[in-house]
C-alpha cells in the first residue's frame, strides 16, 4: 500500500455539514479539497482552515464540469441548498446540484477510482405514511409540490448513484440525513431551530407553523459526522439512515428553546407550509448493526452549545433578514 496522504473532496464545504466534514477529515490526516459556489455557504465557516497546507478551497459550482488534478480517494457530495426557504427561492439550482452535480461527481469518482458518498435526506420519505422510517420505505413525495425540487433531486441522486454502483462497479455510499443542528447553521436559514433561537435572541415571538403537533427528531452535528465517517469506511452501498430517533413535537421544541434562552416571548401560530411532513423519526437499526453507531449527544447539551455559538455571532447577524439574502 502506498503511504500517500489520502485526498478527500468535500462539496458544499462552506456550508453547515460540509465545513464540519472538512474539519473531521483534516483531523484524520487527509488532504481536503473543499468546493463551494457560495450561494448558501459562507466562507467564514472555513476561515480557520484556510491557513492549513492540507486544505485547498475551490470556488466551484459542481453543477458544471468539475476538474481536479492529481489523485482523489474520496468524494463527499454535500453541496445543495438544504432548508425549505432556500430551495423554494432557488429551485432550479437545487434540482441541478442534486442531479447534474451528482452526475459530474460520479464521473469524477469513476475517473479517479475514488469512493463517493452522497448526502441524501429523510425528505426522500416525503410526508411519510410509515413511522418510524426504515430504509426499505419508498416514501410519499409530491413531485410537483414546493418541496419536490429538493426531494426529487435527492431521489434522482440516489438512483443515479446506485446505477453507477451497479453498472460501473463504483464504490458508492448513500447517507439519508435526518434533521441535524449545531454550530455553523445559518441563523436566517428559516429552519425551526435557528428560527426559534434567532427570535428569542431578538426578543420576538417564536413562530410555530400549524398547531405544532408535527414531529421531528433532531441530531447533533458531531453525532452525524461520526455516522458519516463510519459509513464512508464501511462496505455498504445501500442507503443508511443517520439521525437521532428521539422525536418531539415542534411545539415542545419551541418550548424547550423558550426555557433554554430564558426569553419571555410567547409562541405565535402561523399557517403550516404546504406538504410539511407531519411526522419524522429515523429507524436507525441498520446504522447500529452495520456501523456500531448511535447518537450520543443529549439534546440539552447540543442545544446549549448551539445557543452559545449563535450568541457569539456579531449582533448584526442576529438581525439579518432571511429573505434579504441575495442569490
Among 279, 293, 306, 309, smallest CA distance to 181 is for 306
Q: Segment 157-186, which members bind ligand UDP (CB under 6 A)? A: 179
Q: Please report the DSSP string for 109-171 in residue order.
A: HHHHT-EEEEEEEGGGGBS-SSSSBPTT---B--TTSTTHHHHHHHHHHHHHHHHHHHHH---
The smaller minimum CB distance to ligand UDP, of residues 107 and 210, is found at 210
Q: Segment 6-25, which members bind ligand UDP (CB under 6 A)? A: none
Q: How far is 9 from 247, CA to CA, in rounded Å?
A: 33
Contact 183, 309 (CB under 8 A): yes
Among residues 58, 273, 294, 325, which is the contact residue for ligand UDP, using CB under 6 A? 273
The smaller minimum CB distance to ligand UDP, of residues 79 and 192, is found at 192
Q: How far is the CB of 81 from ligand UDP (least distance, A)?
A: 12
Among residues 20, 96, 115, 216, which is the contact residue for ligand UDP, using CB under 6 A? 216
Q: How far is 78 from 22, CA to CA, in rounded Å?
A: 11
Q: Would you please indicate which residues are annotated as catalytic (active-site) residues?
A: 150
Q: How far is the CB of 145 from ligand UDP (least distance, A)?
A: 13
Query: CA Rg, the chain, in Å?
Result: 19
Helices (H), 171-249: 192-202, 221-232
Stretch that binds ligand UDP, among 90-98, 100-108, 191-199, 228-236 (CB under 6 A): 191-199
Q: How far is the CB of 195 from ligand UDP (least distance, A)?
A: 3
From residue 240, give the alpha-carbon distance in Å to each of 13, 22, 122, 140.
Answer: 22, 21, 10, 18
Q: Segment 49-88, which members bind ligand UDP (CB under 6 A)? A: 83-84
Q: Does 209 bind ligand UDP (CB under 6 A)?
A: yes
- Sites of contact with ligand UDP (CB under 6 A): 83-84, 179, 191-192, 195, 207-209, 214, 216, 250, 273, 276
Amino acid at each position: 500500500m502506498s503511504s500517500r496522504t489520502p485526498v478527500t473532496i468535500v462539496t458544499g464545504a462552506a456550508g453547515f455539514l460540509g465545513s464540519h466534514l472538512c474539519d473531521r477529515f483534516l483531523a484524520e490526516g487527509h488532504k481536503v479539497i473543499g468546493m463551494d459556489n457560495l450561494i448558501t455557504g459562507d466562507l467564514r465557516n472555513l476561515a480557520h482552515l484556510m491557513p492549513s497546507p492540507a486544505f485547498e478551497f475551490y470556488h466551484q459550482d459542481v453543477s458544471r464540469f468539475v476538474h481536479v488534478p492529481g489523485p482523489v480517494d474520496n468524494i463527499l457530495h454535500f453541496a445543495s441548498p438544504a432548508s425549505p426557504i432556500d430551495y423554494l427561492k432557488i429551485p432550479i439550482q437545487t434540482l441541478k446540484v442534486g442531479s447534474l452535480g451528482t452526475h459530474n461527481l460520479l464521473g469524477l469518482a469513476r475517473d479517479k477510482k475514488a469512493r463517493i458518498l452522497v448526502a441524501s435526506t429523510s425528505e426522500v420519505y416525503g410526508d411519510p405514511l410509515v413511522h418510524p422510517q426504515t430504509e426499505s420505505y419508498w416514501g410519499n413525495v409530491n413531485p410537483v409540490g414546493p418541496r419536490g425540487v429538493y426531494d426529487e433531486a435527492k431521489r434522482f441522486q440516489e438512483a443515479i448513484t446506485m446505477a453507477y454502483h451497479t453498472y460501473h462497479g463504483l464504490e458508492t455510499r448513500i447517507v439519508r440525513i435526518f434533521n441535524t443542528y449545531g454550530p455553523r447553521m445559518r441563523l436566517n436559514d428559516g429552519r425551526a431551530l435557528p428560527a426559534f433561537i434567532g427570535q428569542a435572541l431578538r426578543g420576538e415571538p417564536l413562530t410555530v407553523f400549524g398547531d405544532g403537533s408535527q414531529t421531528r427528531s433532531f441530531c447533533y452535528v458531531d453525532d452525524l459526522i461520526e455516522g458519516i465517517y463510519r459509513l464512508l469506511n464501511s462496505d455498504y452501498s445501500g442507503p443508511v439512515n443517520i439521525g437521532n430517533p428521539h422525536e418531539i413535537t415542534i411545539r415542545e421544541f419551541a418550548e424547550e428553546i423558550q426555557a433554554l434562552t430564558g426569553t419571555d416571548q410567547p409562541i405565535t401560530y402561523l399557517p403550516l407550509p404546504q406538504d410539511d411532513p407531519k411526522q419524522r423519526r429515523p429507524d436507525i437499526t441498520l446504522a447500529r448493526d452495520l456501523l456500531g453507531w448511535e447518537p450520543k449527544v443529549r439534546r440539552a447539551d447540543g442545544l446549549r452549545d448551539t445557543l452559545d455559538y449563535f450568541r457569539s455571532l456579531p449582533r448584526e447577524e442576529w438581525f439579518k433578514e432571511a429573505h434579504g439574502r441575495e442569490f
